[in-house]
A and B are shown apart, each in its own frame.
Chain A
Amino acid sequence: MWRRRGLVLKQCESIGVSSGGIIVVAASFMGAVLGYQFYVAFRLFNAEALLGGTVGVALFRELAPVMTAIMVTGRAGAAMAAEIGSMRISEQVDALDVMAVDPIEFLVTPRIIAGTIMLPILAIFFTAVASVAGAAVACGVLDLDSTIYWTQYAKVVDTIDLVHCTTKGAAFGMILTWVGCFNGYRAQGGASAVGLATRNTVVASCLAILLVDYILTSFLPFGYLRLKVES
């Protein structure tokens, strides 16, 4: 794989670096909404101080990896399905075979590796931006003390939440690239096959991400399965 590192880097740029902008925008609004909604809910109990911790845990455990994966699916997953699908229907994949270049190694593997590496980073990136956005809304607009927000954030969020975030990110990255490559690789027919592959990729990736999210949440350390066992 080392000799294909250039391809991996290109895919890293395509999946990770190029998705940075959209992640920042999505995370900003997501964090802001969380800040608003949790503040309203906690204020019913005079427990606004818990806002920071709740936002942090929600982002690390669920929202950041899932939202990041869905955003990247819509952007990069669909793009790679379309790209590989186009190559398939224009017989470029067959040409690779003829040239004794393994298309899996050339087209699929770099994308999966890049997705697995880049998604955790993007998820962390998402979390950081969304946390700041949540703090901006809660403290700047809703008058919550920023010290309380960040103190509770640090107190409630644990290392295991980071593990959840990165693990899920890696898993989702692998899934969405695998689904995108699979659909693109299996495209058959004319131009409509490319559109079909793209649509299937987005739908299947989103569903697979949510399904795997449930499974990982259940089985990861300190997941809900353990809570169930303890109770």
Chain B
Amino acid sequence: MNPTEASKATTVRVGLFTLFGLALVGAFTVFVNDKPYWWRKCEPVYISVEDATGLKTKSPIRSLGLQVGYLHSVELTETRVKLGVCITAPIEILPDTRAYIRGEGFLGDKFVELKPVRYVGEVRVGPREHHEVAPPAPAASASPSATTSASTTSANENRRPGSVAKGAKKGNSLLRNELSREENLDPKKALEAKPVEIEKEVQPDTSELEKGSEGYPFHTSMVRFLDLLVPSARAEDVSNAKEVPVGSSNRDMDKLIEQSNKLMIEMTDLTKNLKEGLQPKELRETIQQLNKTLQSAGKALSPEGGLNSTARRALEKLEKAFEAMQAQMERINRGEGSVGRILNDPVYADEALKAMKNLNKLLNKAADILFMVRLGAEQLPAYDGGRGYFQLQIFPNPTRYYLIGVTIDPRGRRTVLNTTTTSNGQSTAVSSEQIEEGGLLLTGMFGKVFWNRFDVAAGALHSDGAVSIGLHLGPVGSERMFTVRNDIYVRGQGVGLNDRLSVIAQPFLHNDFLGSLFVEGGLESFRKYNGKTSAFFGGGVTFSDDDIKLLFAFK
């Protein structure tokens, strides 16, 4: 054997060894990159903060104590730090969602909390053994180990203090979000339960609460259940240290709250229902200014959770806005300005109120009516031409509709001219038919839909008397995805009864871009025309009720 050549056994051994090593590298890479997330869909969110001390990639993103994502990137922008957040849980970031940087654990590990958020995933309800629930964590700043330690010292578990023992596994793994990613937790309930929990937590002593509910097993169970789901909510409400500024800033907040109260009293006395209906320029501008200021204040107050110089400036702006708005309100209350005169004149105010009510009624009625427009084109080879049509379907209610439309048809507009000539007492009737190619044909039908499937309509279809029967054969909820329609029509005397069979499909009904497109085809007539089978095919576009109402600003 050539000494420079390796045997097959050597090759196989080295190959397997190398493959195994590479597999280990891959496995470690996946594992240390937060294994549970690597395959999940990620919704990117960005947060801009002034100081990202303690935050690093993979820091958890939490809401109500549950991990909902992780920090994907930390980038320095011009003067701030941009945090790229990867949301992996099925939650929706709301317009009023704010981010807070918090610390936890023995070393004060930083994480980002988002609240409030809305759970949009599937609700999962599973069995839970309530007797295994550990007591809630004492404070949000408790470390994972410290939190767990607190849990392990429950009365029914005899364990060394400070140790993280196996016995605490079930309760703690549910309590600690990072340990409960795949557990049978019901996040929706957790998210929804938070306000309830906070309200309960307002009571100073929770042990009394539970003690007092000993006679109510269900209530006790619920309290413990909620403790389990939102431990940090309780703790946060107790500490509440990072969100509410302390020291001299409290005075500013008190002042603002006091002014807000005054303002609200003024507004309540003054505007009632009219405040939404009548927004004069000055009032609107003030409200816009107030909104801007509130947004600035919101941004400034979060995510740091404390008052800094930007926040103070925002508060000053807010204060000024409040003062300005209060001044406006006082002017209006005194009857000054156009709005003040209107609002303080009972006649004008009543009339305006009636007008608003009537307008609302009208708009509500309009909102109940559904519209659908179909624009289509069909090719009729036998007639050597094409048909174009516009049809508007008006649904006063979902089971009844009116169909109106116009059509340009290669068959033309047929008019029959009966001429009666009287000569020497004898009358001669001559009937002549005129076909006006390119003439507009009218459609007007009344239809009714039964069980969303069976559609019957009668009236004039392309200027022919017709009775139409349609079957919507699409899946439930998308019945019109596939429709078979039969129109029995009469063009008039001498032409006779005819039948039109068409198949209409909207294959992309649920697609945002292609959903309005439809294709159709069928037989225009069972009779042959010029020796040819009069088939047709075509397509078009439908405009839904939302499109039309948006167009006409009904919505």
Which residues of A line the B interface, CB within 8 A? 3-7, 9-10, 12-13, 16-17, 20, 43, 45-50, 56, 106, 117-118, 120-122, 124-125, 127-128, 139, 143-145, 147-148, 151-155, 157-159, 161-162, 166
Contacts and interface: CB of A to CB of B under 8 A. Distances in A.
Contacts of B2: 6
A159 B164 contact: no
B518 to A, nearest CB: 51
Contacts of A43: 162-163
Closest 7 CB pairs of A and B: A121-B21, A6-B5, A9-B6, A49-B145, A46-B162, A157-B32, A6-B6
Contacts of A158: 32, 57-58
15 contacts: A4-B4, A6-B2, A9-B14, A17-B14, A47-B143, A56-B32, A118-B17, A121-B17, A121-B21, A125-B20, A125-B24, A128-B24, A144-B163, A145-B168, A148-B164
Nearest to B13: A17
Given A7-B4, A127-B28, A158-B57, 16 more contacts: A12-B17, A13-B13, A17-B17, A43-B162, A46-B149, A47-B143, A48-B163, A48-B164, A49-B148, A121-B21, A128-B24, A143-B165, A148-B164, A151-B178, A154-B34, A162-B32
Given A13-B14, A154-B32, A147 B4 contact: no
Contact of A13 (B10, B58, B165): B10
Contacts of A7: 4, 6
Contacts of B163: 43, 46, 48, 143-144
Contacts of B169: 145, 147
A50 B146 CA distance: 11
B106 interface: yes
Contacts of B149: 46
A216 to B, nearest CB: 18
A225 B33 CA distance: 24
Contacts of B145: 46-50
Interface string B1-13: 0101110001101
Contacts of B77: none
A46 B2 CA distance: 62
A159 B32 contact: yes
A145 B21 contact: no
A46 B146 contact: yes
B17 A16 contact: yes
Interface of B: 2, 4-6, 10-11, 13-14, 17-18, 20-22, 24-25, 28-29, 31-35, 57-58, 106-107, 143-146, 148-149, 162-166, 168-169, 172-173, 178-179
A127 B166 CA distance: 25
Q: Chain B binding site: helix, strand, loop or mixed by DSSP?
A: helix
A168 to B, nearest CB: 14
A151 B163 CA distance: 17
Nearest to B32: A157
B28 A10 contact: no
A118 B13 CA distance: 13
B148 A161 contact: no
Contacts of B25: 121, 124, 162, 166
A10 B24 CA distance: 22
Given A10-B6, A145-B172, A148-B179, A47 B17 contact: no
Contacts of B164: 48-49, 144-145, 148
A56 B31 CA distance: 12
Interface centre among B4, B32, B34 (most CB of A within 10 A): B32
A9 B11 contact: yes
Contacts of B29: 159, 162
A162 B163 CA distance: 30
Contacts of A46: 106, 145-146, 149, 162-163
A193 B4 CA distance: 27
Given A47-B106, A49-B144, A120 B21 contact: yes
Contacts of A6: 2, 4-6
B14 A16 contact: yes
Nearest to B30: A154
A124 B4 CA distance: 29
B334 to A, nearest CB: 62
A93 to B, nearest CB: 15
Given A145-B166, A147-B173, A121 B18 contact: yes
A4 B2 CA distance: 11
Nearest to A169: B21
Contacts of A127: 28
A144 B144 CA distance: 13
Given A12-B14, A16-B14, A145-B172, A151 B179 contact: yes
A54 B469 CA distance: 75
B116 to A, nearest CB: 26
A125 B165 contact: no
B17 A20 contact: yes
A147 B32 contact: no
A147 B179 CA distance: 7
B464 to A, nearest CB: 73
A17 B10 CA distance: 9
